[in-house]
């Protein structure tokens, strides 16, 4: 018995999220099918954490145990040949049997991308949220630092959750701006919100971003972020931002 | 009667190219349908040049004449609401009736993207050609300068063409390298070949790139490019590179 760990990326557009569920097309099921086609084994694929319907992953980490003797360096090519084109395995390695991709994860990084110009970018249309009107990026930037460190993030967690402890630590909460190549005039085209932490509650990044968008729209002051955090009440925060803009960027162990 | 000029972008993946043809889904037909839905007019949309099936455009230029009195600043939003999500109008302006987007074009720029790492990038899978093995980028770079200037490009033109004069002038033929963010170790992830000129023959960019790929693979020396150019014989050049990697980048007037 061997425990294999993979880095995979996926375009979540066509899927009902990572986790297997009845009558739905999921990343986990496609991965387990690919392993079955390759080895004949019915494995259970574990991940660093599930991603929701429409959410993407640049470098998700998964693992599963197998009796297959296929050398580790052949696994990615063999799996990719059995996976749909929107799921790709990039790296494979053998890890101790005790390794579990969720339990061992030390830090996760997400990136949420907002396209903040009038018309969508056809080439990124499934990978960024299109906000056609102006956003005040300075107001967004000012709202970020209060999220850093250890906090009870109850306000930024969907109410339908079974996790009782809502305390998480954020190591990074920053904004990266990209300007428009076409107009060339330095107009802001894309706003990326990058957050990393020791763990994230259900919908946490998307609720933080939904709140930041309201701040950028001038519907709330930047100082609201601190107030919402302290309120520990989901109703105080903004809406859950659309899934398509969210990408699991990397997982550190 | 007014003549309107637009900058549009499109993801060519789902289309049989720009130009209208029977029983095929084309960009031109989708544009003409959108104008019809908006104004009730059956216009003929002209472009800076057709693009083949699967080829993309970041900033294609089109124009057509209309009797509609819709103010020019409302056209993009109105057209986008009637276009599929993979075709987007970005800018609109009124131009003299004499303007024709193909005849008036002074310079066109194309970008061909090659992903040169082992596995494809799911997020760019329709917008770059995946070459899973190593390419010698220095050899490719050395082959480019001889293309600059005025030449008879017969060797780089598909034989089925009706254009008799095969002389074109290239102003730019350069390579841009992008390194892999994931591995971080400076590994080359993407090779972009950027060419601009006063006009391009049928399949010219794709045949140049197909030849460059053979040079990068070590199947030909860099000096072959000069020899092929002088031979004025399509059979001397490499194969036509796949359409998906090609993008019409911009058109200057």
| Predicted confidence (pLDDT) per residue in A78-115, tens digit | 999 999 999 999 999 999 999 999 999 999 999 999 99
Instruction: Tell me the shortest Cα–Cα distance from A246 to chain B, in angstroms.
Output: 13
Share of chain B above pLDDT 90, in %: 93
Query: B56 vs A123: CB contact, 8 Å cut-off?
Result: yes
Do B135 and B214 touch, CB atoms closer than 8 A? no
Which of these ranges, A173-182, B24-33, B59-68, has the smallest mean pLDDT?
A173-182
Separation CA A211–CA A143 (nearest Å): 10
Burial class of residue A141 (count of CB atoms within 10 Å of its CB; 0-12, 13-18, 19+) = middle
Residues paired with B247 in a beta bridge: B56, B111
Cα–Cα dist A190/A115, whole Å: 5
Query: What's chain A's average pLDDT?
Result: 95
* Coil/strand/helix, residue A214: helix
- In Å, how far is A13's CA from the nearest CA of chain B? 11
Min Cα distance A236 → chain B (Å) is: 34
Whole-number pLDDT of residue A48: 97
Residue A183 above 80 pLDDT? no
User: Nearest-CA residue of chain A relative to B76?
Assistant: A119
Given B11, B52, B180, B224, the catalytic residue: B52
For chain A, list the domains and their CATH numbers: 2-95 (3.30.70.580), 107-252 (3.30.70.660)
Give the distance from residue A249's alpha carbon to the nearest chain B alpha carbon, in angstroms: 9
Catalytic residue ranges of A:
52
Give the Cα separation of B53 and B66 in Å (integer). 28
Q: Which of A7, A9, A121 sits opposite B122 (nearest CB)?
A: A9
The model's pLDDT over B107-158, given as tens digits with 9 standing for 90+, comes to: 999 999 999 999 999 999 999 999 999 999 999 999 999 999 999 999 999 9
Q: Are A90 and B119 in contact (CB < 8 Å)?
A: yes
Select from B123, B249, B250 the residue whose CB has the most chain A CBs within 10 Å, as the one to mutate to test that interface: B123
| Closest chain B C-alpha to A154 CA, distance in angstroms | 32
The reply to whether A253 sits in an annotated binding site is: no
Question: Could you tell me the CA-to-CA distances from A246 to A59, A200, A216 in Å, in that order?
Answer: 13, 13, 18
Question: What are B's interface residues with A at a Cβ cutoff of 8 A?
Answer: 7, 9-11, 56, 58-59, 76-77, 80, 85-90, 118-123, 125, 127, 182, 250
The partner residue sitting opposite A59, judged by closest CB among B11, B88, B182, is: B182
Nearest residue on chain B to A182, alpha-carbon basis: B59
Region of residue B124 (left: phi > 0; alpha: psi -120 to 50; beta: else): alpha
Task: Please count the helices (runs of H) and the strands (runs of E) in chain A.
Answer: 5, 10
Contacts of A6 in chain B (CB under 8 A): none
Alpha-carbon gap, residue A211 to A195, rounded angstroms: 14
Residue B183 has a pLDDT of 55
CA proximity to B194, closest of B204, B205, B207: B205
The answer to whether the CB atoms of A121 and B80 lie below 8 A apart is no
The counts of H helices and E strands in chain B are: 5, 10
Inter-chain residue contact A122 with B59, CB threshold 8 Å: no
- For A142, half-sphere exposure in the C-beta direction (CA atoms, 13 angstrom radius) is 12
3-state helix, strand, coil in chain B (%, to 5): 25, 30, 45
User: Which residues fall within 8 angstroms of residue A177, CB to CB, at 6 or more apart?
Assistant: A137, A188, A190, A191, A192
- Which of A122, A194, A248 has the most B C-beta neighbours within 10 Å, making it the best mutation to test the interface with B? A122
Cα Rg of chain A (Å, integer):
19
Instruction: Tell me the β-bridge partners of B192.
Output: B113, B176
Using the beta-carbon criterion (under 8 Å), do B80 and A119 form an inter-chain contact?
yes
Looking at chain B, how many residues does it have?
253
Contact at CB, B127 and A122, closer than 8 angstroms: no
- Each residue's pLDDT tens digit, A11-32: 999 999 999 999 999 999 999 9
Identify the pLDDT of residue A93: 97
Which tokens belong to B251? 């058109």
Residues of chain A found within 8 Å of residue B182, distances taken between Cβ atoms: 7, 58-59, 90, 250
Q: How far apart are CA B140 and CA B241, in angstroms?
A: 15
- List the beta strands (DSSP E) in chain B: 2-10, 46-47, 56-66, 87-95, 107-115, 129-130, 149-152, 167-179, 188-197, 246-252
pLDDT at A14: 97
Which of A10, A122, A182 lies nearest to residue B122, judging by beta carbons? Answer: A10
| Token pair of B21 as six digits | 């043809």
Phi and psi, residue A61, nearest 5°: -115, 130
Which residues are bridge partners to A105 per DSSP?
none
* Least CB–CB distance from A119: residue in B58, B76, B125: B76
Which of chain A's residues have a Cβ under 8 Å away from the Cβ of B125? 11, 85-86
Mean pLDDT of B81-105: 97
Which residue from A minimizes the CA distance to B74? A118
Q: Are B88 and A182 in contact (CB < 8 Å)?
A: no
How close A199 gets to chain B, by Cα (Å)? 21
CB contact under 8 A, B123 and A90: no
Indicate the burial class of A185 (C-beta count within 10 angstroms; 0-12, 13-18, 19 or more).
Answer: exposed
| Percent of residues, chain A, with pLDDT higher than 70 | 96
> What are A185-222's pLDDT values in tens digits?
678 899 999 999 999 999 999 999 999 999 999 999 99
Strands B56-66 and A87-95, bridge-based pairing: unpaired
pLDDT per position as a tens digit, B160-201: 767 689 999 999 999 999 987 655 567 889 999 999 999 999
Q: Do B122 and A90 touch (CB under 8 A)?
A: no
């Amino acid at each position: 018995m061997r425990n294999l760990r993979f880095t995979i990326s996926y375009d979540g557009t066509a899927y009902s999220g990572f986790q297997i569920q009845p009558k739905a097309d999921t990343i986990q099921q496609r991965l387990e099918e690919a392993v079955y086609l390759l080895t004949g084994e019915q494995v259970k694929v574990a991940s660093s954490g599930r991603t929701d319907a429409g959410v993407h992953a640049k470098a998700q980490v998964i693992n599963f145990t197998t009796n297959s003797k296929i050398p580790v360096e052949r696994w990615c090519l063999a799996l990719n040949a059995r996976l749909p084109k929107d799921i790709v395995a990039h790296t494979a390695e053998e890890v101790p049997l005790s390794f579990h991709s969720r339990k061992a994860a030390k830090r996760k990084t997400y990136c949420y991308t907002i396209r903040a110009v009038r018309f969508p970018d056809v080439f990124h249309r499934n990978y960024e949220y299109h906000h056609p009107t102006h956003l005040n990026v300075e107001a967004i930037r000012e709202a970020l630092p209060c999220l850093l460190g250890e906090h009870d993030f109850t306000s930024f967690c969907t109410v339908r959750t079974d996790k009782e402890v809502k305390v998480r630590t954020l190591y990074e909460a920053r904004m990266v701006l990209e300007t428009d190549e076409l107009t060339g005039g330095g107009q802001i085209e894309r706003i990326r919100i990058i957050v990393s932490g020791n763990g994230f509650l259900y919908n946490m990044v998307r609720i933080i971003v939904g709140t930041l968008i309201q701040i950028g729209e001038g519907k709330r002051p930047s100082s609201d972020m601190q107030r919402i955090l302290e309120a520990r009440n989901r109703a105080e925060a903004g809406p859950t931002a659309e899934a398509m803009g969210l990408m699991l960027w990397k997982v550190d162990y």
